[in-house]
Amino acid sequence: MAAAAAGCSGVRRWIVVAHLLLVALQPAGAASAAALPVVINTWAFRKAAETAWGVLQLGGSELDAVERGCGQCEIDQCDGSVGYGGSPDESGETTLDAMIMNGNTMEVGAVADLRYVKNAISVARKVMEYTKHTLLVGESASLFAVRMGFPYEDLTTQKSLLVYSEWLNQSCQPNYWKNVIPDSSKSCGPYKRPEKVTYKEEHISQRSFHNHDTIGMVVIGGSGTVASGTSTNGAVHKIPGRVGDSPIAGAGSYADSTAGGAAATGDGDIMMRFLPSYQAVEYMRMGTDPTVACQKVISRIQKYAPKFFGAVICANTTGSYGAACNKIPGFTQFHFMVSSPLLSQPTEQVVDCI
């Protein structure tokens, strides 16, 4: 009897090990195994994933995990595209965009064109918790941050100044102007509107995908509560005042505890026109698998901008997750991070672009 029990126990252990191995080796594009809680974030920003997961393991809330996870990328200046000292605009200044969303209450806090304050995601949370507004922008957002106790700091670094200087020496190429004089493809301006405008097709494919590497994060707690957030310093050499998709609810990210969460990364000027994060969550609400939901969102944008750079991550309230990206030269796979009870540690996953 004891031998039989031991044999059964051994079989059970083997089944558990086999199941975990299957999960670990599963392609990211396949229907993912479901377990809660789950943390998913764009790109291979491992430290951000570890930080967010650690917050949950210590009993922190889903919002805490999003704030700390995205905040870790701001501290680490992830890929130069998040936080201070990166992506100088065409005046040489670094500005920040961020948002955070509570999927239980549908409250959102966001900041855009934030100047002189490093902790953009934390300022966004203060907008949600201490005002009746959703989005604050520019110098006024910075003044609000200071009133909330954040230090006023220079976001410029020697590295960002060097990037700006090199851009000036290359006749300000590339830039985001079109249909202006002098010819924006050959000079730095200043530009103005010509008397007679000849519209040219936008050459989306000429933009480097390294210009748009937002961190987007979705956290779903053990009870199914969803939170999401983003943080970025935007498109390098952008026109001052430009705001992309990252701080816009439904574009940069979206969270709804009755369905799931999603976040987007890429060319925000294109992607924000389609509200991809909102659309992905609505697909999941209808029962669509997260991977398929992400793919459907990418396919919709492809119809209008086939050469756009972008990716979307999705997770539903069961803990199932997925991702999708648009295939263009130089960008054929998308790397993202997943943390789950089914994984021994935050794990980098890869999906082939469509």
Q: Which of 51, 94, 214, 225 is catalytic?
A: 214
108 marked as part of a ligand binding site: no
In a domain, 27, yes or no: no
Query: Does 324 map to a domain?
Result: yes
> Structurally, how many domains does the chain consist of?
1
Q: Kindly report the CA angle at 273 between 271 and 275, in degrees rounded to 5? A: 75
Which amino acid makes up residue 148? M
Give the model's confidence band at 18: pLDDT under 50 very low, under 70 low, under 90 confident, else very high. Answer: very low
Residue 287 lies in a domain: yes
- Tokens representing 169? 């020496």
CATH code, domain carrying 236 = 3.60.20.30
Largest separation between any pair of C-alpha atoms in the chain: 94
Instruction: Let me know: does 193 contact 202? Beta carbons within 8 Å.
Output: no
What the block records as the tokens of 170 is: 């290359």
Q: Is 267 annotated as a binding residue?
A: yes
Of the pLDDT bands very low, low, confident and very high (cuts 50, 70, 90), residue 83 is: confident
- Asked if residues 263 and 113 have their Cβ atoms less than 8 Å apart, the reply is no
Q: What is this structure's pTM?
A: 0.89
pLDDT, average across residues 274-287:
98
Cβ contact 262:281 at 8 Å: yes
Assigned domain for 3 exists: no
18 falls within a domain: no
Give the pLDDT confidence of 291-316 residue by residue, as tens digits.
Answer: 999 999 999 999 999 999 999 999 99
Structure tokens at 217: 């994060």
Is 214 an annotated catalytic residue?
A: yes
Q: What is the pLDDT of residue 195?
A: 86
What type of residue is 64? D
Mean pLDDT of 88-108: 97
**Position with higher pLDDT, 309 vs 19:** 309
Residue 55 assigned as binding residue? no
Residues paired with residue 39 on neighbouring β-strands, in sequence order: 219, 339
Mean pLDDT, rounded, of the chain: 89
Residue range of the domain that includes 147: 38-159+209-352
92 annotated ligand-binding residue:
no
pLDDT at 24 over 90: no
Contacts 24+ apart (CB under 8 A), 166-171: 167/88, 167/90, 167/237
In a domain, 195, yes or no: no
Report the chain's C-alpha Rg in angstroms.
21
Does the residue 171 lie in any domain? no
Contact 228, 240 (CB under 8 A): no
Name the token pair of 265. 């990364």
Does some domain include residue 251? yes
